[in-house]
Amino acid sequence: MDAIILQILNGLDKGSAYALIALGLTLIFGTLGVVNFAHGALFMIGAFCAVTLSRILTLSHTVIDETQKDFLGNPLKVDVPYIYDIFGQQTGDAIIDWAVPISILFAIPVMVGIGFAMERGLIKHFYKRPHADQILVTFGLAIVLQEIIKYFYGANPIPTPAPDAFRGSFDFGAMLGFDPNTIIYPYWRLVYFAFSAVIIGAVFAFLQFTTFGMVVRAGMADRETVGLLGINIDKRFTIMFGIAAAVAGLAGVMYAPINSPNYHMGMDFLVLSFVVVVVGGMGSLSGAVLAGFLLGILESFASMAVVLEILPGINQIIIYLVAIIILLTRPRGLMGRKGVMEE
């Protein structure tokens, strides 16, 4: 039982990332009809927003510290972060420690701006082009963004720690009545799952309960009719592209302490997340979220030692096997709509 609970927790952790990226992919496809293979790069850029802010907060200048002496009795030169000069050492240390959560505020305008630039500068020219053209151009854009990140940040992963308050592990076993230390799980992974749930809930609430969201949903169902009502649906869809970019970026920001940011992390998640979208059903937001969590849990169980002893390597292909089975039995995916990508 303890192993099952642990694998469910692992699956929810992986599924959170899959669901957030797949949600953004589905938002873009459902509104603009574009298959955006650059969406994984937005996840990567979000992670590097956390890296960038952490570096900015630790920028320092050299001062002479009279309280510290070298072996000759001369005062030492020490590096002091500029943030100490503004907020003081205690507050400055706290801000540096909480750099990743603070990066959310930094990443939102950055990611929305990048989303607008991508949509207005490139994506809009491919609305009426075949999906194959969309895939090629967005995949090419993803490679360009990947190489830009590699040029400025290097090829090696960059450790980006979580705040000290969340670096330990939570004892689930003791809470559920098991022996202490039977089921322990990192605090930050639990934070990531809770954060993902909040973001997913916020996106669905925005689409369901706001006038803007209702117009967008109407446009997803029948774009021409909404346009005939005098509503500038294209402008609203552009805003949705920015929101989808922000969702992917925020997913990357909070994932940085779990998986040290590197230039190819977006591509690693993109393929799996696109499979999640297809399994959930192209254009179905709820299907993308459901499939993300289900496939995350399935992949986690497939990684168990007892399973790998019987079927070595099954954890690497289980998602694709499930996708094949679902598409053979339900070609539109779990919750796909009729007519989507069926022309």
Q: Give the Cα separation of 266 and 257 in Å (integer).
A: 15
The number of residues in the chain equals 343
Say yes or no to pLDDT of 259 above 70. Answer: yes
pLDDT tens string 284-334: 888 889 999 998 999 888 888 888 888 888 888 888 898 899 889 888 888
SS3 154: coil
Q: Model-level pTM?
A: 0.88
Which uninterrupted H or E stretch holds 169?
strand 169-171
Which carries the bigger pLDDT value, residue 149 or residue 28? Answer: 149
Structure confidence at residue 147 as a pLDDT band (50, 70, 90): very high
Mean pLDDT of all residues in 22-43:
85
Q: Count how many Cα atoms sit within 13 Å of the Cα of residue 48 in the half-sphere of its side chain.
A: 25
What is the structure's pLDDT at 337? 64
Residues 6+ apart with CB under 8 A from 88: none
pLDDT score for 340: 53
Average pLDDT, the chain: 86
| First CA to last CA distance, the chain | 47
| 166-180 pLDDT tens trace | 988 887 777 777 777
- Residues facing residue 169 across a β-bridge: 186
Check if the beta carbon of residue 261 is closer than 8 Å to that of residue 48: yes
Q: Is-contact 2 171, C-beta < 8 A?
A: no
